[in-house]
Structure 1
Amino acid sequence: MTAIPLALDGYLDDLPVPGDDGTIARFRVISSPTDDVADETVFACSTVEPFIAYALLTEIQPGDLVRISGYLTFPDRLDQGGPRLAVDSLELLAPAPARYLVEMVLDRYGPYIVVLDPEADAVPVFTEAGTWVGHAPNPDAITDLIAAYEAGGPSTDGN
Protein backbone atom coordinates (compact mmCIF):
# COMPACT_ATOMS: atom_id res chain seq x y z
CA MET A 1 0.00 0.00 0.00
CA THR A 2 1.14 3.49 -0.83
CA ALA A 3 0.87 6.06 1.97
CA ILE A 4 0.58 9.75 1.08
CA PRO A 5 0.96 12.44 3.77
CA LEU A 6 -2.20 14.56 3.87
CA ALA A 7 -3.62 17.40 5.95
CA LEU A 8 -7.12 18.73 5.43
CA ASP A 9 -9.90 20.75 6.99
CA GLY A 10 -13.36 19.25 7.15
CA TYR A 11 -16.43 18.58 9.24
CA LEU A 12 -16.80 15.60 11.53
CA ASP A 13 -19.62 13.61 9.95
CA ASP A 14 -20.67 11.33 12.79
CA LEU A 15 -19.62 9.96 16.15
CA PRO A 16 -16.62 7.62 16.09
CA VAL A 17 -17.07 3.89 16.36
CA PRO A 18 -14.59 1.36 17.73
CA GLY A 19 -12.20 0.08 15.11
CA ASP A 20 -12.21 -3.57 14.18
CA ASP A 21 -8.94 -3.56 12.28
CA GLY A 22 -6.46 -2.82 15.07
CA THR A 23 -7.43 0.85 15.23
CA ILE A 24 -8.95 2.52 18.28
CA ALA A 25 -11.61 4.52 16.45
CA ARG A 26 -13.09 4.94 12.98
CA PHE A 27 -14.91 8.09 11.85
CA ARG A 28 -15.70 10.16 8.75
CA VAL A 29 -14.72 13.70 7.84
CA ILE A 30 -16.38 15.66 5.03
CA SER A 31 -14.17 18.12 3.18
CA SER A 32 -15.09 20.53 0.39
CA PRO A 33 -12.74 23.05 -1.21
CA THR A 34 -15.71 25.18 -2.41
CA ASP A 35 -18.42 24.53 0.24
CA ASP A 36 -20.57 23.18 -2.59
CA VAL A 37 -22.18 19.79 -1.99
CA ALA A 38 -21.09 18.67 -5.46
CA ASP A 39 -17.43 19.12 -4.47
CA GLU A 40 -17.60 17.30 -1.13
CA THR A 41 -15.36 14.34 -0.41
CA VAL A 42 -16.02 11.98 2.46
CA PHE A 43 -12.83 10.65 4.03
CA ALA A 44 -12.95 7.34 5.90
CA CYS A 45 -10.64 7.92 8.85
CA SER A 46 -9.17 5.82 11.60
CA THR A 47 -6.72 6.38 14.40
CA VAL A 48 -4.54 4.35 16.71
CA GLU A 49 -3.87 7.38 18.93
CA PRO A 50 -5.76 7.19 22.25
CA PHE A 51 -5.75 10.99 22.72
CA ILE A 52 -7.51 11.48 19.36
CA ALA A 53 -10.16 8.89 20.20
CA TYR A 54 -10.65 10.55 23.59
CA ALA A 55 -11.05 14.00 21.98
CA LEU A 56 -13.55 12.60 19.47
CA LEU A 57 -15.62 11.10 22.27
CA THR A 58 -15.48 13.97 24.77
CA GLU A 59 -14.70 17.29 23.09
CA ILE A 60 -15.61 17.16 19.42
CA GLN A 61 -19.15 16.76 18.08
CA PRO A 62 -20.55 15.99 14.63
CA GLY A 63 -20.56 19.16 12.55
CA ASP A 64 -17.44 20.61 14.18
CA LEU A 65 -14.82 21.95 11.78
CA VAL A 66 -11.56 20.06 12.35
CA ARG A 67 -8.10 19.90 10.84
CA ILE A 68 -6.74 16.40 10.54
CA SER A 69 -3.46 15.08 9.25
CA GLY A 70 -2.07 11.66 8.68
CA TYR A 71 -1.43 9.24 5.86
CA LEU A 72 -3.84 8.44 3.05
CA THR A 73 -3.52 4.82 2.01
CA PHE A 74 -4.92 3.08 -1.03
CA PRO A 75 -5.52 -0.67 -1.00
CA ASP A 76 -3.54 -2.92 -3.32
CA ARG A 77 -6.72 -4.70 -4.44
CA LEU A 78 -10.31 -3.52 -4.91
CA ASP A 79 -11.69 -6.12 -2.51
CA GLN A 80 -9.72 -4.52 0.35
CA GLY A 81 -12.05 -1.51 0.48
CA GLY A 82 -11.48 2.11 -0.44
CA PRO A 83 -8.85 4.64 0.58
CA ARG A 84 -8.37 5.32 4.29
CA LEU A 85 -6.85 8.22 6.16
CA ALA A 86 -4.82 7.10 9.17
CA VAL A 87 -5.11 10.18 11.39
CA ASP A 88 -2.22 11.08 13.67
CA SER A 89 -3.22 14.64 14.59
CA LEU A 90 -6.54 16.39 15.15
CA GLU A 91 -7.32 20.03 15.88
CA LEU A 92 -10.70 21.66 16.51
CA LEU A 93 -10.96 24.76 14.30
CA ALA A 94 -14.56 25.80 15.04
CA PRO A 95 -17.48 24.24 16.87
CA ALA A 96 -20.62 23.39 14.93
CA PRO A 97 -23.21 26.16 14.77
CA ALA A 98 -25.94 25.91 17.38
CA ARG A 99 -28.50 23.35 16.45
CA TYR A 100 -31.77 25.11 15.64
CA LEU A 101 -35.08 23.98 17.00
CA VAL A 102 -37.02 21.79 14.61
CA GLU A 103 -40.24 21.56 16.59
CA MET A 104 -42.20 23.49 19.20
CA VAL A 105 -40.73 23.37 22.70
CA LEU A 106 -42.04 24.48 26.10
CA ASP A 107 -39.47 26.06 28.39
CA ARG A 108 -39.52 27.46 31.93
CA TYR A 109 -38.39 30.82 33.19
CA GLY A 110 -38.93 30.30 36.92
CA PRO A 111 -42.73 30.30 37.41
CA TYR A 112 -43.31 31.23 33.75
CA ILE A 113 -43.82 28.96 30.73
CA VAL A 114 -42.77 30.02 27.22
CA VAL A 115 -43.60 28.39 23.89
CA LEU A 116 -40.64 28.38 21.50
CA ASP A 117 -41.76 27.76 17.92
CA PRO A 118 -39.07 27.77 15.20
CA GLU A 119 -41.65 28.98 12.67
CA ALA A 120 -42.66 32.09 14.67
CA ASP A 121 -40.67 35.07 15.93
CA ALA A 122 -43.03 35.98 18.79
CA VAL A 123 -42.89 33.92 21.97
CA PRO A 124 -46.10 33.40 23.97
CA VAL A 125 -45.54 33.61 27.75
CA PHE A 126 -47.85 32.30 30.51
CA THR A 127 -47.54 31.85 34.25
CA GLU A 128 -47.34 28.24 35.42
CA ALA A 129 -50.97 28.64 36.58
CA GLY A 130 -51.97 29.44 32.99
CA THR A 131 -52.40 33.20 33.29
CA TRP A 132 -51.59 35.02 30.06
CA VAL A 133 -48.51 37.27 30.30
CA GLY A 134 -48.11 38.31 26.66
CA HIS A 135 -46.05 37.87 23.51
CA ALA A 136 -42.33 38.59 23.58
CA PRO A 137 -41.35 39.80 20.10
CA ASN A 138 -38.40 37.38 20.09
CA PRO A 139 -36.66 35.00 22.52
CA ASP A 140 -34.22 37.72 23.63
CA ALA A 141 -37.13 39.84 24.93
CA ILE A 142 -38.69 37.18 27.20
CA THR A 143 -37.05 38.43 30.39
CA ASP A 144 -38.05 42.04 29.59
CA LEU A 145 -41.68 40.96 29.13
CA ILE A 146 -41.64 39.04 32.42
CA ALA A 147 -40.06 41.99 34.25
CA ALA A 148 -42.72 44.35 32.87
CA TYR A 149 -45.47 41.92 33.88
CA GLU A 150 -44.09 41.61 37.43
CA ALA A 151 -43.77 45.38 37.69
CA GLY A 152 -47.40 45.73 36.60
CA GLY A 153 -46.35 47.57 33.45
CA PRO A 154 -48.95 48.97 31.08
CA SER A 155 -48.33 46.53 28.22
CA THR A 156 -48.03 42.77 28.34
CA ASP A 157 -47.98 42.19 24.60
CA GLY A 158 -44.20 42.55 24.27
CA ASN A 159 -44.37 45.71 22.11
Structure 2
Amino acid sequence: MDAIPLALDGYLSAEPVFEEQDGTACWRLTCSPTDRLVDDATVPCTSRNLDVVNALFTECRPGDLLRVTGYLALPDNAGGGLHLQADTLEVLFEAPALDTPDNDPDTDASSVETDRNTAIEALAEALTSLAGEPGTDASIRIHISPTGVLGSGGEHCHSIEITPGRAHQLADQVDAMSCYLDSERPDTGTVLDSQTIADITELFEDIDLISLTGAVLSSTRPEHRPKVTQAIDDMFGDVSDLEDPEL
Protein backbone atom coordinates (compact mmCIF):
# COMPACT_ATOMS: atom_id res chain seq x y z
CA MET A 1 0.00 0.00 0.00
CA ASP A 2 1.27 3.48 -0.87
CA ALA A 3 2.47 5.80 1.89
CA ILE A 4 -0.03 8.47 2.98
CA PRO A 5 1.00 12.18 3.15
CA LEU A 6 0.45 13.37 6.71
CA ALA A 7 1.15 16.29 9.01
CA LEU A 8 1.03 15.70 12.77
CA ASP A 9 1.24 18.00 15.76
CA GLY A 10 2.41 16.27 18.91
CA TYR A 11 4.76 16.25 21.85
CA LEU A 12 8.20 14.69 21.83
CA SER A 13 7.63 12.02 24.45
CA ALA A 14 11.24 10.97 25.11
CA GLU A 15 14.81 11.53 24.02
CA PRO A 16 15.30 10.61 20.33
CA VAL A 17 17.59 7.75 19.31
CA PHE A 18 20.11 7.84 16.49
CA GLU A 19 20.93 4.69 14.55
CA GLU A 20 24.52 5.12 13.41
CA GLN A 21 24.44 2.18 11.00
CA ASP A 22 21.97 3.75 8.60
CA GLY A 23 21.91 7.36 9.87
CA THR A 24 18.28 7.18 10.94
CA ALA A 25 16.81 9.18 13.79
CA CYS A 26 13.92 7.57 15.67
CA TRP A 27 11.54 9.24 18.08
CA ARG A 28 8.00 9.04 19.37
CA LEU A 29 5.36 11.72 18.94
CA THR A 30 2.42 11.81 21.37
CA CYS A 31 -0.63 13.26 19.61
CA SER A 32 -3.80 14.44 21.36
CA PRO A 33 -6.57 14.85 18.76
CA THR A 34 -9.14 15.54 21.50
CA ASP A 35 -9.22 16.52 25.17
CA ARG A 36 -9.80 12.90 26.19
CA LEU A 37 -6.80 10.89 27.32
CA VAL A 38 -8.18 7.75 25.72
CA ASP A 39 -7.77 9.40 22.31
CA ASP A 40 -4.04 10.09 22.79
CA ALA A 41 -1.83 8.20 20.38
CA THR A 42 1.92 7.68 20.25
CA VAL A 43 3.24 7.62 16.69
CA PRO A 44 6.73 6.29 15.93
CA CYS A 45 8.68 8.63 13.65
CA THR A 46 11.85 8.13 11.63
CA SER A 47 13.93 10.33 9.37
CA ARG A 48 17.20 10.35 7.47
CA ASN A 49 16.78 13.95 6.42
CA LEU A 50 19.83 15.79 7.76
CA ASP A 51 17.86 18.96 8.52
CA VAL A 52 15.33 16.99 10.54
CA VAL A 53 18.01 14.97 12.34
CA ASN A 54 20.03 18.07 13.24
CA ALA A 55 16.97 19.95 14.49
CA LEU A 56 15.84 16.95 16.48
CA PHE A 57 19.12 16.61 18.38
CA THR A 58 20.09 20.28 18.69
CA GLU A 59 16.82 22.17 19.07
CA CYS A 60 14.37 19.75 20.66
CA ARG A 61 13.89 18.23 24.08
CA PRO A 62 11.18 16.01 25.56
CA GLY A 63 7.95 17.91 26.06
CA ASP A 64 8.37 20.21 23.05
CA LEU A 65 5.35 20.54 20.79
CA LEU A 66 6.43 19.61 17.25
CA ARG A 67 4.84 19.71 13.82
CA VAL A 68 6.09 16.85 11.68
CA THR A 69 5.22 16.35 8.02
CA GLY A 70 6.00 13.33 5.90
CA TYR A 71 4.47 10.05 4.85
CA LEU A 72 2.70 7.55 7.03
CA ALA A 73 4.14 4.14 6.14
CA LEU A 74 1.58 1.41 6.70
CA PRO A 75 2.66 -2.09 7.80
CA ASP A 76 3.17 -4.70 5.11
CA ASN A 77 1.57 -7.39 7.24
CA ALA A 78 -0.71 -7.76 10.23
CA GLY A 79 2.21 -8.05 12.62
CA GLY A 80 4.01 -4.97 11.37
CA GLY A 81 3.83 -1.44 12.70
CA LEU A 82 3.13 1.90 11.11
CA HIS A 83 5.48 4.87 11.40
CA LEU A 84 5.82 8.38 10.05
CA GLN A 85 8.72 8.99 7.72
CA ALA A 86 9.41 12.65 8.45
CA ASP A 87 10.58 15.14 5.81
CA THR A 88 10.22 18.32 7.88
CA LEU A 89 10.17 19.19 11.57
CA GLU A 90 9.11 22.45 13.21
CA VAL A 91 9.13 23.37 16.92
CA LEU A 92 5.76 24.97 17.71
CA PHE A 93 6.30 25.36 21.45
CA GLU A 94 9.32 24.79 23.66
CA ALA A 95 8.73 23.00 26.93
CA PRO A 96 9.84 25.00 30.00
CA ALA A 97 13.32 24.07 31.14
CA LEU A 98 13.34 22.11 34.38
CA ASP A 99 15.32 23.60 37.27
CA THR A 100 18.13 21.16 38.01
CA PRO A 101 20.59 23.09 40.19
CA ASP A 102 19.75 20.87 43.17
CA ASN A 103 21.12 17.90 41.27
CA ASP A 104 24.36 19.61 40.30
CA PRO A 105 26.79 20.05 43.21
CA ASP A 106 29.06 22.28 41.11
CA THR A 107 26.16 24.60 40.28
CA ASP A 108 25.18 24.72 43.95
CA ALA A 109 28.68 25.63 45.05
CA SER A 110 29.04 28.29 42.39
CA SER A 111 25.68 29.85 43.24
CA VAL A 112 26.45 29.93 46.98
CA GLU A 113 29.86 31.49 46.36
CA THR A 114 28.38 34.12 44.05
CA ASP A 115 25.72 35.04 46.62
CA ARG A 116 28.37 35.28 49.34
CA ASN A 117 30.65 37.52 47.27
CA THR A 118 27.75 39.77 46.27
CA ALA A 119 26.72 40.13 49.91
CA ILE A 120 30.29 41.00 50.94
CA GLU A 121 30.56 43.67 48.25
CA ALA A 122 27.21 45.21 49.24
CA LEU A 123 28.14 45.30 52.93
CA ALA A 124 31.59 46.72 52.24
CA GLU A 125 30.13 49.42 50.00
CA ALA A 126 27.58 50.40 52.65
CA LEU A 127 30.17 50.57 55.43
CA THR A 128 32.61 52.52 53.26
CA SER A 129 29.87 55.04 52.50
CA LEU A 130 29.06 55.32 56.22
CA ALA A 131 32.71 55.78 57.17
CA GLY A 132 33.34 58.56 54.64
CA GLU A 133 36.84 59.85 54.13
CA PRO A 134 39.24 58.27 56.65
CA GLY A 135 40.76 60.75 59.07
CA THR A 136 42.85 60.86 62.20
CA ASP A 137 39.77 60.07 64.31
CA ALA A 138 39.16 56.77 62.51
CA SER A 139 40.44 54.53 65.29
CA ILE A 140 38.27 51.45 64.61
CA ARG A 141 38.93 48.98 61.79
CA ILE A 142 36.37 46.55 60.43
CA HIS A 143 37.53 43.56 58.39
CA ILE A 144 35.18 41.74 55.99
CA SER A 145 36.26 38.62 54.13
CA PRO A 146 35.09 35.12 53.21
CA THR A 147 35.53 32.52 55.91
CA GLY A 148 37.91 29.61 55.60
CA VAL A 149 40.98 29.45 53.39
CA LEU A 150 40.93 32.48 51.11
CA GLY A 151 42.65 30.95 48.13
CA SER A 152 41.62 33.08 45.15
CA GLY A 153 39.08 35.05 47.21
CA GLY A 154 41.51 37.74 48.29
CA GLU A 155 39.80 40.32 46.10
CA HIS A 156 36.73 39.98 48.31
CA CYS A 157 38.55 41.10 51.45
CA HIS A 158 37.84 44.62 52.71
CA SER A 159 39.18 46.76 55.54
CA ILE A 160 37.16 49.83 56.57
CA GLU A 161 38.27 52.37 59.16
CA ILE A 162 35.61 54.32 61.05
CA THR A 163 35.45 56.79 63.91
CA PRO A 164 33.96 55.89 67.31
CA GLY A 165 31.02 58.18 66.51
CA ARG A 166 30.30 56.26 63.32
CA ALA A 167 30.63 53.01 65.24
CA HIS A 168 27.97 54.15 67.71
CA GLN A 169 25.78 55.17 64.79
CA LEU A 170 26.24 51.77 63.16
CA ALA A 171 25.42 50.04 66.45
CA ASP A 172 22.21 52.08 66.73
CA GLN A 173 21.25 51.06 63.20
CA VAL A 174 21.83 47.39 64.00
CA ASP A 175 19.75 47.71 67.17
CA ALA A 176 16.96 49.37 65.19
CA MET A 177 17.10 46.60 62.58
CA SER A 178 16.96 43.95 65.31
CA CYS A 179 13.88 45.63 66.76
CA TYR A 180 12.22 45.48 63.37
CA LEU A 181 13.08 41.79 62.96
CA ASP A 182 11.72 40.96 66.41
CA SER A 183 8.45 42.83 65.87
CA GLU A 184 5.92 43.22 63.11
CA ARG A 185 8.03 44.72 60.38
CA PRO A 186 6.12 46.87 57.86
CA ASP A 187 5.32 45.19 54.55
CA THR A 188 7.15 47.96 52.70
CA GLY A 189 10.40 47.02 54.43
CA THR A 190 11.22 50.72 54.77
CA VAL A 191 13.99 51.55 57.23
CA LEU A 192 14.73 55.18 58.07
CA ASP A 193 18.16 56.41 57.10
CA SER A 194 20.58 57.51 59.79
CA GLN A 195 20.12 61.25 59.14
CA THR A 196 16.34 60.99 59.51
CA ILE A 197 16.71 59.10 62.78
CA ALA A 198 19.15 61.74 64.03
CA ASP A 199 16.74 64.54 63.07
CA ILE A 200 13.82 62.86 64.86
CA THR A 201 15.96 62.24 67.95
CA GLU A 202 17.06 65.88 68.01
CA LEU A 203 13.44 67.02 67.63
CA PHE A 204 12.29 65.06 70.66
CA GLU A 205 15.32 66.11 72.69
CA ASP A 206 14.39 69.77 72.09
CA ILE A 207 10.87 69.34 73.48
CA ASP A 208 10.42 71.04 76.87
CA LEU A 209 8.10 68.63 78.62
CA ILE A 210 7.32 71.07 81.45
CA SER A 211 6.24 73.78 79.01
CA LEU A 212 4.32 71.22 76.99
CA THR A 213 2.52 70.00 80.12
CA GLY A 214 1.65 73.58 81.12
CA ALA A 215 0.30 74.35 77.65
CA VAL A 216 -1.87 71.23 77.63
CA LEU A 217 -3.27 71.88 81.10
CA SER A 218 -3.95 75.55 80.28
CA SER A 219 -6.27 74.46 77.49
CA THR A 220 -7.96 71.79 79.62
CA ARG A 221 -11.10 72.35 81.67
CA PRO A 222 -10.31 72.30 85.41
CA GLU A 223 -12.42 69.22 86.12
CA HIS A 224 -10.48 67.25 83.48
CA ARG A 225 -6.99 68.31 84.50
CA PRO A 226 -6.30 65.42 86.94
CA LYS A 227 -6.99 62.83 84.25
CA VAL A 228 -4.96 64.73 81.64
CA THR A 229 -2.09 65.08 84.10
CA GLN A 230 -2.20 61.35 84.76
CA ALA A 231 -2.20 60.63 81.02
CA ILE A 232 0.85 62.85 80.47
CA ASP A 233 2.65 61.19 83.38
CA ASP A 234 1.87 57.76 81.92
CA MET A 235 3.31 58.82 78.57
CA PHE A 236 6.40 60.82 79.59
CA GLY A 237 6.91 59.91 83.23
CA ASP A 238 6.38 62.18 86.21
CA VAL A 239 7.11 65.44 84.38
CA SER A 240 5.68 68.01 86.74
CA ASP A 241 2.84 68.50 89.16
CA LEU A 242 1.43 71.78 87.95
CA GLU A 243 -1.58 72.77 90.03
CA ASP A 244 -1.94 76.16 88.34
CA PRO A 245 -1.04 76.03 84.60
CA GLU A 246 -1.35 79.79 84.39
CA LEU A 247 1.81 80.24 86.50
TM-score by length of 1: 0.62
Match of 1:123 in 2: none
> Is 2:136 the partner of 1:110?
no
Higher-Rg structure is 2
Q: Which structure 2 segments of 5+ residues have no match?
A: 117-145, 148-172, 190-247
Q: How far 1:21 moved relative to its partner? A: 8.2
Match of 2:2 in 1: 2
Q: RMSD over aligned Cα, in angstroms?
A: 3.6
Q: How far 1:4 moved relative to its partner? A: 0.8
Could you say which structure has the greater relative contact order, defined with CA pairs below 8 angstroms and 6 or more residues apart? 1
Q: How far 1:41 moved relative to its partner? A: 0.6
User: What are the superposed Cα offsets for residues 74-131 of structure 1, whole Å, 9 maximum, x if unpaired?
Assistant: 112133x311100001001110023256x7985526244xxxxxxxxxxxxxxx86xx
Q: How far 1:70 moved relative to its partner? A: 0.5
Alpha-carbon distance change, 90 to 104 in structure 1, aligned in 2, over 3 angstroms: closer
Alignment check: 8 A CA contact 1:23 1:46 kept:
no
Q: How far 1:51 moved relative to its partner? A: 1.1
Report the count of equivalent residues: 124
Alignment check: 8 A CA contact 1:15 1:61 kept:
yes
Structure 1 segment 94-109 matched on structure 2, within 5 A? 94-99=93-98, 107-108=111-112
Segments of 4+ in structure 1 off by > 6 A? 156-159
**In 2, Cα distance between the equivalents of 1:12 and 1:78?**
27
Q: Which structure 1 segments of 5+ residues have no match?
A: 113-127, 130-150
Alpha-carbon distance change, 21 to 72 in structure 1, aligned in 2, over 3 angstroms: farther
Q: How far 1:35 moved relative to its partner? A: 4.2
**In 2, Cα distance between the equivalents of 1:3 and 1:20?**
25
Match of 2:31 in 1: 31
User: Which structure shows the higher helix fraction?
Assistant: 2
Structure 1 segment 68-83 matched on structure 2, within 5 A? 68-79=68-79, 81-83=80-82
Aligned residues with identical type, % of pairs: 37
User: Which structure shows the higher strand fraction?
Assistant: 1
TM-score by length of 2: 0.42
SS in 2 for 1:44: strand
Match of 2:52 in 1: 52
